[in-house]
Amino acid sequence: MKILYLSHSGVQLSGSKVILIDPFLTGNSFAPMGPDAFEKVDFIVVTHDHADHLGDSFTIAKKKGAVIVSQHEIAVNAQSQGIEAEGMNIGGPVERDGVKFWLTLALHTSGVGHSMGAVIEMDGKRVYHAGDTGIFSDMKLIGELFKPDIGFLPIGGRYTMDEEQAAMAVDFLKIPLIVPVHYKTFPLIKGDPNKFAQLVGDKAKVKIMQPGDEIEI
């Protein structure tokens, strides 16, 4: 699986299918590409409907015929606009075209429904994207139940975990590879990925990705 960092909380997973998570591109000066840059998109996972996460999801889905995967209320909104959507909630999984999706708890607000994280299984790999969240002790259950290969954790502070809280979350989750996200896109989220990496120490490998960077797992 190849993973492209789209900036902010946006991620592209490429393998047997192409999956976007929270593609906030339009109006994002850090984004390395716009919504027209994708040749193929099969699924778009939306953790919640704040503008910096819902972003270009509906626009891309309409142009590429992608399926929105999100909590029930966002899925209903997508369907009302003629977009195919898989609505779900905490629990799951929903399996489609060889890909499994679970939604997980996240402590945050949302315009409709509830903010969530997501676990995605594709090509024998599991990815955990925490969405926007504060720290919560049941992250231990996410790690124990899903055993993700890689995790994306917000570190910006104010609206989500800061570096210290995210480092404690790493201890809860016990995921071997962590990518910090959701920092410095706006002045109010000042998280420092290097500080986060120092706090994590040898609990996990921290990969600091710049927008447009790609890794393979």
Q: What is the pLDDT of residues 107-146, one digit of tens each?
A: 999 999 999 999 999 999 999 999 999 999 999 999 999 9
- Domains and their CATH numbers in the chain: 2-208 (3.60.15.10)
Please choose, from the candidates 85, 97, 70, 71, the residue with its C-alpha nearest in 3D space to the C-alpha of residue 16.
97
The set of residues, in sequence order, having a beta carbon less than 8 Å from that of 80 and lying 6+ positions away, is: none
Residue type, 48: H
Q: Is the full-model pTM beyond 0.85?
A: yes
Contact 110, 49 (CB under 8 A): yes
State the pLDDT at residue 43.
99
The pLDDT assigned to 92 comes to 81
Give me the pLDDT at residue 100, please: 98
Amino acid letter at 19?
I
Both structure tokens of 93: 């999984």
**DSSP summary character for residue 132:** S
What is the pairing mode between strands 85-88 and 94-96?
Answer: unpaired
d(CA 103, CA 1): 20
Burial class of 96 by CB neighbour count within 10 A (0 to 12, 13 to 18, 19+): middle
So what's the pLDDT on residue 145? 98
Helix (H) or strand (E) holding 164: helix 163-173
Phi and psi dihedrals of 10, rounded to 5?
-80, 135
CB 116 within 8 A of CB 130: no
pLDDT of residue 91: 92
Residues of the chain with pLDDT under 50: none
